[in-house]
Structure 1
């Protein structure tokens, strides 16, 4: 492996990684050499994800830690567990997120707050806990998983749009405060990615047709399309990249 992208000897925590995009990103970091800690709130699903991924790597390379990323104390305890039981945290991927589709006129404030808490506040809480360990060491990588909805909007997903727009600017705020301490904080903004969680949208003939027509690449993205950019942002190859949001969307956001 090119040493610019070699993550051997580094420890990574990926939130919301028991399945879907988070799991794929965790695997990509492990394949690049990192020791990876999976995270989720469903302990049974998390244990299964750890066992499945650990079978493909050397003993100790895949670990897991169940904690609620939306709670300040839990975020602190989760990062502390990684530091104490796995190693100094070098890479944090803030991937945890949920969706809730309801027109704004019918949206309950509890559902608004649940999405904002999971998709935005969690990145602040876990990111801050990680930075408190990274800043004294003078190094660290934080990668926030945004969305094309950081720039675009669709009906019925207002909380998600607000959260992802906020996450893009949180990435900039983290950079403004922590880059001088040697941290690199960046984000990726995936377009529409085909996963088990979006299968119902892929199966919707009208929506699928809209995606294919709206995307210059004429296809859905895959989790593997996100792997390379995340490994790059986690590596020495991106050492002077800071505060950026990289859109990985097949060209969706550059056309009208």
Structure 2
């Protein structure tokens, strides 16, 4: 099996023990400064769903659209689309068959969704078959954003749209040993993360080379309360969540909503 981020093992174990997990990404709060630790933790699942809703809204779905969710996790966003837009055909794609099995079990609608096991950088679809692509907080795991953008361009019809949320990390102004420790921890907890230190400019260049016009919305501040759940304190030592929290504090983490239109 291809390498899957380590945190999914804990999620899958929790699901086997009866937990309901729809989303495995950060949350979005419209007024993050008004959210304290207790409220953030209690509302984390709803905030995760809210982040997905923001991405889906940017798709501007229309009747007849064919939609692919790349890196669909446990299928929460696919199910949300099927409930809010019942006339739209949507496929969930993931490299991890275990996640797809959970997504399939959780799909309670009469007409089952399609779930496909495949690599985001080798999409198993013919050219121009989708009007909309979605990728919620997964692209940094892919072997190459550039190759993913090229594949997305190929499978989208002319005028089609790819909407993503993505984490972009700049190298922090810290000692070399600390930077290396941060990178190692991110790779261990959240990897594969092939290009840990990058920039919006690099993402924009990759998107434009693939043939997309790119619109960017910065939602970094809206995700801050997530750290009350994924990195509530430092007693566990240096975890991937702690690294993301510290990079956010240093201004070296940007959480971006990207809308890429196929020219």
**What TM-score does the superposition give when structure 1 sets the normalisation length?**
0.49
Point out the structure with the larger strand share. Answer: 2
Which structure would you say has the larger RCO, counting Cα contacts within 8 Å and 6 or more residues apart? Answer: 2
